[in-house]
Amino acid sequence: MIDREQRAFISRMEKEVLSKRKLYSFLAKLRTIPGDYVNLYVKPSSFPRRISELLIEAGHDICAGEIKHSVANEALVREAGRYSTGAVIFWGENGEKHIVLPPFPISEDKVSLGERDASLLCESLERRYTPGVVL
């Protein structure tokens, strides 16, 4: 069952395209907001179908239903499928909830609880990629 707060979050879900610089600014802003978070990194092959499994395996099943419901949003699933880079979810107990579809693929599934952990996202942004052309 979805509570009133969850419905409000779903109705406020907004799409915002960020450049690399704006994404770094967004992450810096997030660091200033106190609170405990569920940090969820989901590689492309796991998103969105393994969200609940990952949270339960890590012992963070309290918010699994909320997160699973939020990532079932049709527009979000469509965009995630379009880019096939996975997702990064910062789910705060203080009401701050963010789902990021990164510009480069997330390489592993990872769940942590506590302070916001943007390390894997920053790693993927800092990694040097070599584009290839196949003829």
Q: Which residue ranges make up each domain of the chain?
A: 4-124
Q: How far is residue 89's CA from residue 52's CA, in Å, rounded to a whole number? A: 13
CATH of 4-124, one of 3.20.20.70, 3.30.960.10, 1.10.1300.10, 3.40.630.30: 3.30.960.10
11 token code pair: 């109705």
What is the β-pairing status of strands 87-92 and 97-100?
antiparallel
**Which SS3 state, helix, strand or coil, does residue 1 take?**
coil
Q: What pLDDT does residue 130 have? A: 64
Q: What pLDDT does residue 13 have? A: 60
Q: What pLDDT does residue 4 have? A: 39
**CA 20-43-59 angle, 5° bins:** 115
Q: What pLDDT does residue 116 have? A: 81
83 token code pair: 């880019």
Q: What pLDDT does residue 1 have? A: 40
Instruction: Report residues of the chain scoring pLDDT below 70.
Output: 1-14, 60-62, 129-131
What would the pLDDT profile of 33-49 be if each residue is shown by its tens digit?
777 888 889 999 888 88
Q: What pLDDT does residue 10 have? A: 40
- Facing residues of 61 across strands? none
What is the β-pairing status of strands 87-92 and 110-114?
unpaired
